[in-house]
Amino acid sequence: MNKLSFYFYRTILWLWDIITLNLVLFLLSYFVQRANVFESNEYLLYFFAFNIFWMASVFITALYLSKNWLDIQNFSKQTFKCYVFTILGALFFIFIAKFDYSRLFITLSFIGFGVALLINRLIFWGLVESLKNNFQLKKNVIVIGYNNISKRLIQYFENETKLVNLLGCFEDGENLTSAGDYPISGSIRESLDFAKANNITEIYATIAPENNPYLYDLAKEAENHFIHFKFVPDYQIFVNRNIFVDFVNDIPVLSLRKEPLEDTGNKIKKRILDIVFSTFIIVFLLSWLVPLMAMLIKLNSKGPVFFIQLRSGKNNQPFKCLKFRSLKVNDEANSKQVTKSDSRMTPLGKFLRKSNVDELPQFFNVFLGDMSIVGPRPHMLKHTTDFTNMYKQYMIRHFIKPGLTGWAQVHGFRGEIRDPELLRKRIEHDIWYLENWSLWMDVKIILLTVYVTIRGDKNAY
């Protein structure tokens, strides 16, 4: 299915769910409560809250953004998660608002929306199956070549997509009988006859035409029979990793990784989130917490209120990172990691570090632009040098601003680096975040950070 069709069906499904939600609520309020929702503030607020919690849940779980929404089992699980989050949110609203809603109305609204979602999904998947059968959405394809690229392509066609029928693999070679677990259907010169006889719509060639000039003639002949011919280049010949292709005008440009935050629009979105969120925290939390913590820190141990340390920022540029001081003043602060039973830790400092309160002054760094709310955690300069020698991909994480929290932190990879494997896992998570960033992901990580902090993290010390 092409990108335009994907967005069209996704939008239709989103509108369908929203209309269904409001229709269920309206009918119940009218026939069960006999209330005119447009004249009742209580019911208007309930409508509004229910809609907000549903949209927030689908945003956080990326329900309509999933490319596997034709996978009934996977999409059903995601829909159920959104439904549960919405119900919990609605219950929270009812508890906070303390309006006198009837239990019958609330119960029926929950059940009614659940049943409506189920019916929506059944009808939608029925329509999709009908379209697939009547409009041949499912393509018949064959693959030319037996190599690493063809293996990955075959695996994708067989396991990851529901809209492709792989009918054969073609390669030259007397003793070659199968492509892994997949049988070789014939030689390359036999592929076109097979395609014409089996209603093939696309041929994927994983062999460079420079190595087999016959492929040029084959491509032209295939198009004469209305069969799309696609060349799949193997860029791993030059670089042993995934390659991403961008276009400058009509010129293809290869890059080692996809970086969403290189896009100016994405940078602006992330910066707006940083400014709004950090301003809110500074005004409503730090404005009274800083004086309180200053007094407690001073009473607890001698030394400054803030611990200011040079740390590695974006493009490895050092910046002054702010923290509430949690250790006794010592000469090893800029060279030695904090360990679980560190003798330098003050009694108050143990609480500050366990609860992550010591990191809150970094919202000033976020507001000033040295850091972001979400990103790789910044390390002291010495550790940046040490870790670069331990792991060759370490410096990649400095392509973006460091963060107060990050993808690695919410997965437990934080605190003391005790062995290279912990460092490798942390860096892999940081690079994955860099390559897969989205605004909803930042929101998700912020919420996960709150959850992990409340639950407690064994690596927080």
DSSP string, 259-307: -GGGSHHHHHHHHHHHHHHHHHHIIIIIHHHHHHHHHHHHHHSSS-SEE
Residue 325's H or E segment, with its range, is none
Measuring CA to CA, how many Å separate 199 from each of 4, 144, 185, 428? 25, 16, 15, 43
Residue after which a domain boundary falls, among 200, 224, 256 = 256
Both 388 and 302 in a single domain? yes
Both 236 and 269 in a single domain? no
Whether 374 contacts 273, CB under 8 Å: no
Residue after which a domain boundary falls, among 256, 280, 298 = 256
Measuring CA to CA, how many Å separate 167 from each of 10, 134, 150, 172, 174? 29, 20, 14, 17, 21
The predicted model scores a pTM of 0.58
Both 296 and 367 in a single domain? yes
Domain count, the chain: 3
Whichever domain contains 155, its CATH number is 3.40.50.720
Both 239 and 268 in a single domain? no
Evaluate whether residue 307 is within a structural domain: yes
Percent of the chain with pLDDT over 70: 85
Confidence at 180, pLDDT banded by 50, 70, 90: low
Q: Is 402 left (phi over 0), alpha (psi -120 to 50) or beta?
A: beta
Task: Give 433 or 354, the one with higher predicted confidence.
Answer: 433
Measuring CA to CA, how many Å separate 387 from each of 312, 424, 427? 12, 10, 10
Residue after which a domain boundary falls, among 85, 106, 135 = 135
Both 113 and 211 in a single domain? no
Whether 143 contacts 232, CB under 8 Å: no
The pLDDT assigned to 238 comes to: 56
Give residue-wise pLDDT tens across range 29-83. 777 766 555 566 777 788 888 889 998 888 877 777 765 556 667 778 888 888 9
Confidence at 1, pLDDT banded by 50, 70, 90: very low
CA angle, 273 as apex, 45 and 322 as ends, to 5°? Answer: 125
Evaluate whether residue 289 is within a structural domain: yes
Both 51 and 111 in a single domain? yes
Q: What is the average pLDDT value for the chain, to the nearest integer?
A: 83
Pull the structure tokens for residue 377.
């955690």
Both 89 and 181 in a single domain? no
The closest of 56, 22, 51 to 37, measured between CA atoms, is: 22
Q: Letter for the amino acid at 87?
A: I
Structural domain range at position 244 = 139-256
The pLDDT assigned to 179 comes to: 54
Confidence at 2, pLDDT banded by 50, 70, 90: very low
Both 279 and 407 in a single domain? yes
Burial class (CB in 10 A: 0-12, 13-18, 19+), 294: middle
Which residue blocks in 282-419 are alpha helix, DSSP H? 287-300, 347-355, 362-368, 381-390, 407-410
Both 82 and 182 in a single domain? no
Give residue-wise pLDDT tens across range 308-346. 999 999 989 999 999 999 888 887 777 777 777 778 888
Q: Is pLDDT of 288 > 90?
A: yes
Evaluate whether residue 460 is within a structural domain: no
Residue 6's H or E segment, with its range, is helix 3-31
The closest of 245, 147, 138, 155 to 202, measured between CA atoms, is: 138
Evaluate whether residue 25 is within a structural domain: yes
Evaluate whether residue 329 is within a structural domain: yes
Both 162 and 226 in a single domain? yes
Both 210 and 244 in a single domain? yes
Evaluate whether residue 461 is within a structural domain: no
Evaluate whether residue 54 is within a structural domain: yes
The pLDDT assigned to 66 comes to: 62
Quick one: how far is CA 81 from the chain centroid?
A: 16
Mean pLDDT of 388-395: 82
Task: Give 92 or 72, the one with higher predicted confidence.
Answer: 92
Both 39 and 107 in a single domain? yes
Evaluate whether residue 171 is within a structural domain: yes
Question: Beta strand 139-144 with 202-205: parallel, antiparallel or unpaired?
Answer: parallel
